[in-house]
Structure 1
Amino acid sequence: MTAFSLNPEQTAWCAELRTLADERLRPLAEKGEPGRVNRPLVEALGELGLLDRLFAGEGEGRGEGGGGASTPSASRAPRATSGALGLCLLRESLAYACTEAETALALQGLGAHPVAAYGSARQREQWLAPARAGHAVAAFALSEPGAGSDAAALALRAAPDGPSSWRLTGEKCWISNAPEADFYTVFARTTPGAGARGVTAFLVPADRAGLTGTPLDMLSPHPIGALAFDGVTVTGDDVLGEPDRGFRVAMTTLNRFRPSVGAFAVGMAAAALDATLAHTAQREAFGGKLKDLQAVAHQVAEMATRTEAARLMVHAAAAAYDRDEPDIARRAAMAKLMATETAQYVVDAAVQLHGACALQRGHLLEHLYREVRAPRIYEGASEVQRTIIAKELYSGNKD
């Protein structure tokens, strides 16, 4: 795997993003209501030009227009912060200072990326431009009650209703930003019995007749809900990509964002590590500082080593994606697996070293402890990542 280090420009940009998130975005996040879309926060991400960076190089020059204003954070960013690597640096930096801002940004990217990459000129103009500006909230509707990790088992039915139209009937579940999103990238089965080859991606506005949603009470500060489709009409104008090729749309999107899920996790791990360094350096116990106890010092060293290893794997996977290397699926899976499992370990260790104070409502680690669990499940659970890695390894070894 390629060795990786950030250059001074990239390091400075990450520091600037941390400051921006702390000073401009955190106050908006603190005013948000748990379980609801924080639209002022999403709009601020657009105004600061950060949502534009999600789609840098995708759909450029095709008439959709960028939504973000030119700000120091957006306009002065070095060229090397574009693409998947730039997305990882952006997500890690925001996560360190404000996980709510990071999540709002990531969900916009996940929901609108299929429009940027596969949408028609009309779809991009109508939906991508406002999504980039933070004026329209996007959502990625793939999972179902019976099709989470096994995405090819989708049951939402797209029944033919004319030469170029379908009616969607069924459910989606565990959908971030539902039921408050303005539009959904929806994956439905257009050809029964065809597995992954019979799925089509549709852009479905939230106000389409027959589409309803219900919020779910989850361990999450952002909204997660279920969607019900009761004969929702979609046409050829709503298709993203090609009919029966929607699984490719889903996997391309997930492969792009999986390394950056790892970046989100690394950002949380880094925040927990820094909090632990500060706490153990000043906390008095057993006649001295906590950091002077070998058990504590060794634990902190392990936390730091694992965090840095995860960061390097995330950066290498993102760089491989940007170079369009053939083993992107394996590297993306490895990066997500390593980073999310590492973050869980680091945050848990940080709570242990802080003691009871870390479990108080409002404490940074109490917040991170709740946030860090979900990334090991969404966009492919850890077990799915291991399956992908093994499959890729064996497919490359034909002997």
Structure 2
Amino acid sequence: MPAFSLEPEQNAWCAELRALAADRLRPLAEKGEPGRVNRPLLTELGRLGLLSRLFTSGALDLCLMRESLARACTEAETALALQGLGAHPVHAHGTPAQRERWLPRVSDGTAVAAFALSEPGAGSDAAALGLRADPDPDVSPDAGPALDAVPDGPRRWRLTGRKCWISNAPEADFYTVFARTTPDAGARGVTAFLVPADRPGLTGAALEMLSPHPIGSLDFDAVPVGADDMLGEADRGFRVAMGTLNLFRPSVGAFAVGMAQAALDATLAHTARRDAFGGKLRDLQAVAHQVAEMALRTDAARLMVYAAATAYDEAAPDVPKRAAMAKLLATETAQYVVDAAVQLHGARALQRGHPLEHLYREVRAPRIYEGASEVQRGIIAKELYKESHTQPYATREARP
């Protein structure tokens, strides 16, 4: 399917999602407490079958869901996305027992998932993780067959350290946690673990942020984990993290595109009815050109998001570059479009409760989380230079 064109069925599905978000999800979102997990909203997402689609759909469908929900209810979009981000490593790398225990509950909205990667000293530099997974000295040799999964290394560990800016913390029911199992090994010494929230030694606290998402910190005081808690292989957890981010980065872009489109829709309606200087606001050339620029950038970002998602679904070799490009362009575009929309609306858009005031607070964070814009530029440049080494030179420098 061409990346620049959706099928009629897909367009109809997007329209249906927008209607569901406005009619059934937004009322639940409005009843929720800002900064807290909205479990009734998650239950409704599960009842509508949207959470289960996180594990049966491709990247493009994920982008269409996130964009469509974001246009009508950003809280519903974020609740869905965080379930996917936290549970995707279990879906992709979990054992049959892990998947059987958690994925049905994630799909029906009764279990809240979280992706615990960032730390106070390791935000953008994810390979610099400091959360330690120390071998557990108290394990007896006959601790059980499940622990024999790592015959040449430790079979149980104790997690010690801190995670910060973790979405859905501290209210999640389980966490995908990335910890250092081999010191001084960079990205090669990180292991992913599935850690239920009731493990002894695991505590957390909510953080008050600009956007109204549930975000918190987690403290690990010798939290016990074993080989049966691992997601994937020992010391290969960084691949689990990057594989998850390669899938979700384009869909962060889709979230941003949804917000940009919502701001553009509001601006079109406002400038068409607002009286100013003897006519409508839209009659002013400066305003009309501004709206055209907003639409241009939004459509360009949308196309790049769809292209990146299609590349992921087709297992293209340049997925990291495309995912980074999509996330970068879309989030920067959304910031521009929402800011322009606020400017064209004037003071009314700054009032608490106005849809654009809400979007203005929501739109800032995506330029930072799941890799800040500067990190995306670094990934793009790295991938470009990598590609240049595999292609013949088109020209050679002239020799004297």
The answer to whether TM tops 0.5 is: yes
Mapped to 2, the partners of 1:197 and 1:296 lie a distance apart of 52
Cα shift at 1:221: 1.3
Mapped to 1, the partners of 2:334 and 2:367 lie a distance apart of 9
Mapping of residues 212-291 of structure 1, within 5 Å? 212-291=203-282
Mapped to 2, the partners of 1:396 and 1:124 lie a distance apart of 37
Q: Secondary structure at the match of 2:161?
A: strand
Q: 2:47 matched to 1:13? A: no
Task: Give unpaired runs (5+ residues) of structure 1.
Answer: 57-81
Match of 2:314 among 310, 323, 326: 323
The equivalent of 2:118 in structure 1 is: 143
Mapped to 1, the partners of 2:257 and 2:3 lie a distance apart of 18
The Cα offsets for residues 158-197 of structure 1, whole Å up to 9 and x where unpaired, read as 0011441000000000000000000000000000011000
Match of 2:130 among 124, 131, 155: 155
Q: Secondary structure at the match of 2:234?
A: coil
Cα shift at 1:247: 0.3
User: How many residues were matched structurally?
Assistant: 373
Mapped to 2, the partners of 1:208 and 1:86 lie a distance apart of 35
Contact 2:134–2:181 (CA under 8 A) maintained in structure 1: yes
Q: 2:92 matched to 1:117? A: yes
Q: 2:333 matched to 1:358? A: no
The equivalent of 1:44 in structure 2 is: 44
The equivalent of 1:336 in structure 2 is: 327
Mapped to 2, the partners of 1:263 and 1:215 lie a distance apart of 27
Q: 2:83 matched to 1:108? A: yes
Cα shift at 1:36: 0.6
- Runs in 1 of length 4+ with deviation above 3 angstroms? none
Cα shift at 1:220: 2.0
Task: Give unpaired runs (5+ residues) of structure 2.
Answer: 140-153, 394-400
Query: 1:46 is matched by which residue type in structure 2?
Result: G
The equivalent of 1:379 in structure 2 is: 370
Q: 2:179 matched to 1:204? A: no
The equivalent of 1:79 in structure 2 is: none
Identity %: 81
Cα shift at 1:120: 0.3
Mapped to 2, the partners of 1:220 and 1:372 lie a distance apart of 8
Contact 2:46–2:108 (CA under 8 A) maintained in structure 1: yes
TM-score of the pair, normalised by structure 1: 0.93
Mapped to 2, the partners of 1:337 and 1:111 lie a distance apart of 22
The equivalent of 1:305 in structure 2 is: 296
Contact 2:324–2:376 (CA under 8 A) maintained in structure 1: yes
Q: 2:103 matched to 1:128? A: yes
Q: Secondary structure at the match of 2:330?
A: helix
Q: Secondary structure at the match of 1:33?
A: coil
The equivalent of 1:86 in structure 2 is: 61
Cα shift at 1:356: 0.4
Mapped to 1, the partners of 2:300 and 2:103 lie a distance apart of 35
Contact 2:3–2:310 (CA under 8 A) maintained in structure 1: no
Q: Secondary structure at the match of 1:396?
A: helix
The Cα offsets for residues 118-140 of structure 1, whole Å up to 9 and x where unpaired, read as 00011011111101110000000
Cα shift at 1:369: 0.2
Cα shift at 1:107: 0.2
Q: Secondary structure at the match of 1:187?
A: strand
Cα shift at 1:3: 4.9
The Cα offsets for residues 301-344 of structure 1, whole Å up to 9 and x where unpaired, read as 00000000000000000000000000000000000000000000
Q: Secondary structure at the match of 1:36?
A: coil
The equivalent of 1:53 in structure 2 is: 53
Q: Secondary structure at the match of 2:130?
A: coil
Mapped to 2, the partners of 1:207 and 1:3 lie a distance apart of 44
The Cα offsets for residues 18-69 of structure 1, whole Å up to 9 and x where unpaired, read as 000000100000000001100000111111100011111xxxxxxxxxxxxx
Q: Secondary structure at the match of 1:170?
A: strand
Contact 2:3–2:306 (CA under 8 A) maintained in structure 1: no
Q: 2:159 matched to 1:186? A: no
